[in-house]
């Protein structure tokens, strides 16, 4: 099957079907295969809900082994799709959710989503194995694995979702689940602060992205990402096009820690190392990369997209690598290196967008290869960065520190860990025979192509300088940690090799680093090329976008740049003590972290002032706020809709006695304002209640009159009893706001209610329902309409009201009968 296989959720595709000539039942295999795409997202989320029960029933076996089966199974299932995707197929399966608003749960599998899904599940499985040996059994493993599975399912939802609203839901779920993972050691202040920072920054960007999605929906008329891509030519000239682009990029930049939003990623290192390895290599930070890649067909033809993505990526690349060199914490060094590597990938996607730019049609295939390089480095970065974070976790777990100043001489004591560190760090530095060398050479090709196209000569220069600093921090990671003098007196534990269970995952990743270098085209042909076709569907239809990865390209400019990186990096590393003082030009109080802290501090000051303004402690003030909102909202709507036309000519006449009762009630209401004691206020208030009861008598509703009289009597007695125990009433104590304000609000509410009451009776759009209840005797056998409504027509409502009263009565009875325990202070003691 070529092209796209799209199946909806018609029941016939999922039901068991009978075959006329056979007696057995079967499920249509194609539907089952497509349904599996949805299940890949749902299974981790369901498993997260079942983790607590699983742990209780199998407490003798480490829960991590059961969790490991989930990403492993999903990884194997996804591997089965590779042949179909490599042949150019795309698969989708839709489950209707909110069809009225075009919001459906559509899982879409193409080359781009598959490559991300394989990273999420594959590295997720390795991280789970690593966590089994890293985390102590005393840790709250139920919470950890619940959060981990939630994170995994959310990331799979992001890369598989075709509907923008569903994508946004999973997008924010990644922020929430990563918040929980980063704050796993919540007893540490740094963990709480790091989790808060990541949540605030990424969620803010996510909201901006949501607004961009809404704009796209307004312009294209569809929530489908594929629908937006196919309709892009019809709304490119829309004035909302550029704002939507910028808002979506804001979401991508915050999630992928691009400058200046990168500050959340280094603080996220306070999470347990398995979380750091997963978050930095395959999951959250790659979500923004995925978003840019997925929406390149929509915005890639715009110059604004190219300059924003490329420039932000290059600045992030340089700043991350430059800042990583000054770090003394191994995890912090790797965190800033992740920032740098993400910037590198982002810049390549920016350069690749020139393939869709009308000014570079002749070089479209050439520039599209920059996206191929970005995808290649995406995979390579996941392998070597995951291995390096696990190496740091091993050092910290076995030695009790990851401070570079306390480390050294570990190569002979931890030979396997040292070997993995060399493989990962040298790949990150872009040296052969490791996969990072191949993608780094392709990166140099991309920036040289951009420079040769007359865009800016600064592009290859910045890339080359940043690569030198990348080489330097890679050397620091290896040589400062594993070579030099062993400092046992500065370590919490003597150095020794980690258990094989903890070494298994980094060994697998380190092996992939070498294997991908030796056999890169297997990855390129089966995964990278189909993913490239997903980014540039219009080009893939008429051009061969496949790229052959060669281990040797001859003596070209890229190789000269690499040699310059090595020589320059060695020189800077050997002379680092002479030039490292340059970092004093960037003091901590000028950093973006300080700016973030100052913003939070000022927001807290302002919010406290606002809160202190309206949280006065007086119930009267809170009522004023509520009624002011009522006046503005309801009164404004009445004016806006012009529904205040009053017609009282046909109203029933008012008798003299009714006038007398109404005047008495008005006098009583006004007198409450001038009452000198609580007793007077209560008695005057009861006049209003009994006046209502008299009106019920006049309107021939004796049962309502009786109910009103009983309720008013009981309420008045309760008020009198309660106020008897209160201290003496000082009128000035209740004047928290100006009496003039209270008077104005009171009059405003009264006027609004009066206008609404009069307007409603003149705005009847339908016949009155009272005629139905007039037949109460025939319908329910009751001659009293009110009683019949209470006991028959709305019997369930009445029953529930009685239940509420019963519960309240039980509560009151309990409070009366409860006996204070010995030593407790009670009112009686006082």
Segment 467-490, tens digit of pLDDT: 999 999 999 999 999 998 898 888
Token pair in block for residue 568:
């320059």
In the predicted model, is pLDDT for residue 31 greater than 70?
Answer: no
- Domain boundary assignment for the chain: 1-220, 301-574, 575-606, 619-765
Strands 90-98 and 4-7: parallel
Which residue in 238, 237, 217, 239 sits closest to 228, CA to CA?
A: 217
What is the SS3 assignment for 108? strand
Rounded-to-integer distance, Cα 753 and Cα 634, Å: 9
Segment 213-237, tens digit of pLDDT: 999 999 999 999 999 999 998 999 9
In the predicted model, is pLDDT for residue 289 greater than 60?
Answer: yes
Which residue in 166, 178, 313 sits closest to 249, CA to CA?
A: 313
Token pair in block for residue 232:
């892009």
pTM (2 d.p.): 0.80
Rounded-to-integer distance, Cα 210 and Cα 370, Å: 28
Rounded-to-integer distance, Cα 63 and Cα 71, Å: 14
* Cα 626 off chain centre by: 32
Which residue in 705, 680, 701, 702 sits closest to 691, CA to CA?
A: 705
In the predicted model, is pLDDT for residue 735 greater than 70?
Answer: no
- Tokens 């009106």 belong to 695
Candidate ranges 82-86, 94-98, 365-369, 540-544; pick with highest mean pLDDT: 82-86
What is the SS3 assignment for 702? helix
- Tokens 């959250």 belong to 284
pLDDT bin (cut points 50, 70, 90) of residue 20 is very low
Of 7-11, 308-312, 401-405, the poorest mean pLDDT is in 7-11
* Partners of residue 93 on adjacent β-strands: 7, 107
Phi and psi based region of residue 553 (left: phi greater than 0; alpha: psi -120 to 50; beta: remaining)? alpha
* Residue 7 φ/ψ, nearest 5 degrees: -120, 135
Segment 343-361, tens digit of pLDDT: 999 999 999 999 888 777 7
Rounded-to-integer distance, Cα 672 and Cα 456, Å: 79
Average pLDDT of the chain is 86
Which residue in 288, 311, 322, 547 sits closest to 450, CA to CA?
A: 311
Buried b vs exposed e over 162-197: b needs ≥16 C-beta within 10 Å? bbbbbbbbbbbbbbbbbbbbbbbbeeeeebebbbbb
CB contact at 8 A, 229 and 298: yes
Residues in the chain: 830
Phi and psi based region of residue 585 (left: phi greater than 0; alpha: psi -120 to 50; beta: remaining)? alpha
């Amino acid at each position: 099957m070529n092209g796209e296989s799209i199946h909806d959720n018609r029941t016939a595709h999922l039901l068991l079907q009978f075959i006329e000539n056979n007696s057995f039942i079967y499920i249509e295999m194609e539907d089952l295969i497509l349904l599996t795409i949805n299940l890949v997202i749902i299974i981790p989320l369901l498993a997260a809900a079942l983790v607590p029960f699983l742990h209780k029933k199998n407490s003798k076996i480490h829960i991590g082994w059961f969790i490991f089966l989930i990403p492993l199974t999903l990884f194997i299932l996804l591997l089965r799709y590779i042949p179909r995707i490599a042949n150019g197929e795309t698969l989708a399966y839709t489950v209707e959710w909110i069809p009225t608003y075009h919001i459906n749960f559509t899982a879409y599998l193409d080359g781009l989503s598959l490559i991300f899904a394989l990273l999420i599940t594959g590295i997720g499985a390795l991280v789970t194995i690593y966590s089994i040996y890293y985390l102590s059994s005393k840790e709250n493993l139920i919470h950890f694995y619940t959060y981990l599975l939630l994170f995994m399912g959310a990331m799979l939802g992001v890369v598989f979702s075709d509907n923008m609203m569903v994508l946004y839901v999973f997008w924010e779920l990644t922020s929430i689940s990563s918040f929980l993972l980063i704050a796993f050691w919540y007893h540490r202040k740094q963990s709480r602060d790091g989790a808060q920072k990541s949540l605030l920054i990424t969620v803010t960007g996510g909201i901006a992205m949501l607004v961009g999605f809404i704009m796209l929906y307004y312009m294209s008329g569809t929530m489908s990402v594929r629908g937006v891509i196919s309709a892009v030519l019809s709304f490119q000239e829309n004035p909302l096009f550029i704002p939507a682009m910028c808002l979506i990029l804001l979401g991508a930049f915050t999630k992928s820690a691009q400058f200046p939003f990168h500050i959340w990623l280094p603080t996220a290192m306070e999470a347990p190392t398995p979380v750091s390895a997963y978050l930095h290599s395959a999951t959250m930070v790659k979500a923004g990369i995925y978003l840019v890649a997925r929406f390149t067909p929509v915005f890639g033809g715009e110059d604004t997209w190219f300059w924003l993505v490329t420039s932000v990526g290059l600045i992030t690349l340089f700043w991350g690598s430059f800042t990583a060199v000054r770090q003394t914490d191994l995890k912090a060094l790797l965190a800033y290196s992740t920032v740098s590597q993400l910037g590198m990938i982002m810049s390549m996607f920016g350069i690749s967008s020139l393939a869709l730019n009308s000014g570079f049609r002749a070089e479209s295939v050439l520039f599209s290869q920059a996206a191929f390089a970005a995808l290649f480095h995406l995979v390579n970065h996941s392998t070597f960065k995951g291995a390096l974070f696990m190496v740091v976790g091993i050092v910290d777990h076995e030695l009790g520190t990851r401070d570079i100043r306390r480390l050294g001489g570990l190569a002979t004591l931890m030979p396997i860990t040292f070997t993995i560190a060399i493989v990962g760090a040298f790949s990150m530095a872009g040296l052969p025979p490791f996969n990072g060398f191949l993608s780094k050479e392709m990166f140099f090709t991309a920036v040289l192509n951009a420079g040769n196209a007359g865009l800016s000569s600064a592009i290859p220069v910045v890339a080359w300088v940043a690569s030198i600093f990348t080489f330097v921090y890679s050397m620091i990671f290896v040589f400062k940690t594993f070579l030099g003098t062993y400092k046992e007196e500065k370590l919490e534990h003597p150095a020794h090799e980690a258990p094989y269970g903890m070494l298994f995952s980094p060994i697998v990743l380190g092996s992939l680093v070498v294997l991908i270098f030796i056999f890169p085209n297997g990855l390129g042909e089966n995964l990278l090329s189909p993913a490239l076709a997903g980014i540039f569907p219009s080009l893939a239809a008429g051009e061969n976008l496949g790229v052959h990865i060669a281990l040797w390209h001859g003596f070209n400019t890229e190789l000269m740049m690499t040699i310059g990186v090595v020589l320059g990096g060695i020189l800077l590393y050997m002379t680092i003590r002479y030039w490292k003082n340059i970092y004093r030009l960037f003091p901590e109080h000028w950093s973006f972290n300080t700016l973030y802290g100052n913003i939070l501090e000022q927001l807290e000051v302002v919010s406290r002032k606002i809160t202190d303004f309206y949280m006065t402690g007086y119930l009267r003030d809170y009522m004023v706020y509520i009624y002011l909102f009522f006046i503005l909202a309801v009164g404004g709507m009445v004016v806006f809709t012009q529904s205040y036309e009053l017609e009282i000519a046909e109203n029933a006449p008012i008798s003299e006695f009714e006038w007398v009762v109404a005047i008495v009630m008005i006098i009583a209401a006004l007198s409450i304002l001038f009452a000198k004691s609580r007793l007077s206020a209560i008695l005057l208030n009861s006049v209003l209640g009994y006046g209502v009861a008299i009106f019920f008598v006049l309107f021939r509703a004796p049962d309502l009159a009786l109910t009103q009289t009983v309720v008013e009597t009981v309420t008045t007695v309760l008020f009198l009893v309660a106020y008897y125990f209160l201290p003496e009433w000082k009128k000035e104590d209740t004047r928290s706001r100006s009496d003039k304000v209270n008077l104005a609000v009171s009059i405003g509410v009264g006027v609004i209610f009066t206008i609404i009451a009069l307007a409603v009776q003149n705005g009847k759009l339908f016949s009155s329902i009272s005629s139905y209840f007039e037949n109460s005797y025939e319908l329910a056998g009751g001659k009293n309409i009110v009683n019949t409504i209470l006991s028959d027509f709305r019997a369930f409502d009445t029953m529930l009201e009685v239940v509420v009263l019963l519960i309240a009565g039980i509560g009151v009875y309990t409070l009366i009968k409860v006996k204070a325990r010995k030593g407790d202070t009670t009112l009686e003691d006082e």
